[in-house]
Amino acid sequence: MNIDKNLLEKWDKEYIWHPYTQMKEYRESKNLIIERGEGNYLIDIYGNKYLDAVSSIWCNLFGHNRREIIEAIKNQADKICHSTLLGCGNVPSILLAKKLIDITPKHLTKVFYSEDGAEAVEIAVKMAYQYYVLRGDKGRTKFISVKEGYHGDTFGAMSVGGSELFHGVFKPLLFKGYHANPPYCYRCRYYNFKDTDERNEKGCNMECLNEMINLIEKHADEVFCVILEGGVMGSAGMIPFPDGYIEEVAKACKENDIIFILDEVATGFGRTGKMFFCDNEKLKKLEKPDILCLGKGITGGYLPLAATLTTDEIYNQFLGEFGESKQLYHGHTYTGNQLLCSAALATLEIFEKENVIEKIQPKIDLLHRELRKLKELEHVGDIRGKGFMVGIELVKNKETKEPYPYGYKAGYRVAEKLLEKGVYMRPIGNVIIICPPLSITKEEIKYLCNALYEAIKEADL
């Protein structure tokens, strides 16, 4: 089909309301319209190629046209595209549930499907709340999380999140909880480290963790869950939790009989260099998290699937006679859809067959090594993250860490320069986000880091 490119651009501006986009500005500027993908590259309607430095928002794992995933979707489509999971099973959802149970810590034994990360979190929150209600513990209506945490854009997910910028306007409508200050080492409230690297070299007493533990102990009787992201606060600007922080929070939850939800929507499936953050001896010993949220990379970034995994302890509370109405009344039309589950099965098969986690380690080391060079640039304040989740915070003044005003769009200025060099990058405010597919090659990593160095310089911040 030969489609008029100008018309596509015009209709895109005329009819589509883009997410997280100031449409006034979008309509006034040149729009990038992707037509196809080739490996780690996006290709626009004019045939221009862009290295996908953010994995199409942190979900693409093995590039854009892995035959195995596509074939799995096609083969499934030939059998059936969709039938309901409401009181009825389907083959790929069963096989995938078994696989997910096999590859996550063994205390997690049940899988509840959904389509997006936010929904996986909604389900986790509902499970946790109703668990206590069913246990006869009805006074628990609050949660604990961290400021600037992000768990998605639906109301439950916004409530347990803490993004002032994204969700502040909805505050009067959100349910209430307690937010600890985030472990944001670059802008720590207790120490004045030059950057996150300096904090990691020197260590600290983790006063931020004490704040969190105090909140848990103080409000234990009224809280139904503590929720954290799995090792890196992605949308806050790729802020890594200091080593040991999450484990200590899990321990405090265990001691205070509070459900601990770990949101690995962004960090799961190899993104931080491990299959999952909860693949962690201390957490396994504690049998935490009680609930695990997965999404994004679960289908290799091909189709929207998410999953909420939990324990027998929680699941069993929901068992009873039909008339007791203990069932979890949550579900969507496409819950457990066959095409999505088939894509996920093919993705997990690639992990197994290709020893992916082992293979990405040298590439992760290379990325972090190459990015070090950026430190000498005048406006690069902090370089942080884990694995293939990296944030580079741009500052107006490196000495004082003075941030750029939001409207200055420092990150977007760099993104524009990167696009000219054939790299697609979507920043978050003043933070450049580097979150490439796990399949990025060493040559591409070098190209990306060099292009970024030049782009920051050329952006004339």
Q: Give 289-308 as a DSSP string.
A: -SEEEE-GGGGTTSS--EEE
Residue linked to tokens 């309607």: 45
* Run of H or E including 111: strand 110-114
Query: Please, what is the minimum distance in Å from the beta carbon of residue 233 to ligand PLP?
Result: 8
Tell me whether residue 120 or residue 456 sits nearer to ligand PLP (CB atom).
Answer: 120
Tell me whether residue 239 or residue 265 sits nearer to ligand PLP (CB atom).
Answer: 265
Tell me whether residue 63 or residue 234 sits nearer to ligand PLP (CB atom).
Answer: 234
- The identity of residue 43, as a single letter, is I
Tell me whether residue 373 or residue 426 sits nearer to ligand PLP (CB atom).
Answer: 426
Cis peptide, bond prior to residue 240, ω within 30 of zero: no
Query: Please, what is the minimum distance in Å from the beta carbon of residue 241 to ligand PLP?
Result: 12
Query: Please, what is the minimum distance in Å from the beta carbon of residue 122 to ligand PLP?
Result: 9
Q: 397 and 406 in contact (C-beta within 8 Å)?
A: no
- Applying CB under 6 A, the residues found at the interface with ligand PLP are 116-118, 121, 150-152, 229, 234-235, 263, 265-266, 295
Query: Please, what is the minimum distance in Å from the beta carbon of residue 200 to ligand PLP?
Result: 22
> Environment class of residue 227 by beta-carbon count within 10 Å: exposed (0-12), middle (13-18) or buried (19+)?
buried
Query: Please, what is the minimum distance in Å from the beta carbon of residue 296 to ligand PLP?
Result: 6
- What is the rounded radius of gyration, in angstroms, for the C-alpha atoms of the chain? 22
Q: 124 and 291 in contact (C-beta within 8 Å)?
A: yes
Euclidean distance between CA atoms 257 and 345, whole angstroms: 35
DSSP state of 32: P
Tell me whether residue 266 or residue 346 sits nearer to ligand PLP (CB atom).
Answer: 266
Give me the residues paired with residue 43 across strands. 36, 49
Query: Please, what is the minimum distance in Å from the beta carbon of residue 21 to ligand PLP?
Result: 15
Query: Please, what is the minimum distance in Å from the beta carbon of residue 430 to ligand PLP?
Result: 18
Query: Please, what is the minimum distance in Å from the beta carbon of residue 57 to ligand PLP?
Result: 7
Tell me whether residue 266 or residue 303 sits nearer to ligand PLP (CB atom).
Answer: 266
Q: Could you give phi then psi for residue 148, rounded to 5 degrees?
A: 70, 5
Euclidean distance between CA atoms 206 and 182, whole angstroms: 11
Q: 388 and 273 in contact (C-beta within 8 Å)?
A: yes
Instruction: Report the residue number whose CB is nearest to ligand PLP.
Output: 117
Tell me whether residue 42 or residue 266 sits nearer to ligand PLP (CB atom).
Answer: 266
Euclidean distance between CA atoms 419 and 378, whole angstroms: 21
Tell me whether residue 280 or residue 299 sits nearer to ligand PLP (CB atom).
Answer: 299
Nearest to 265 by CA among 93, 150, 435: 150
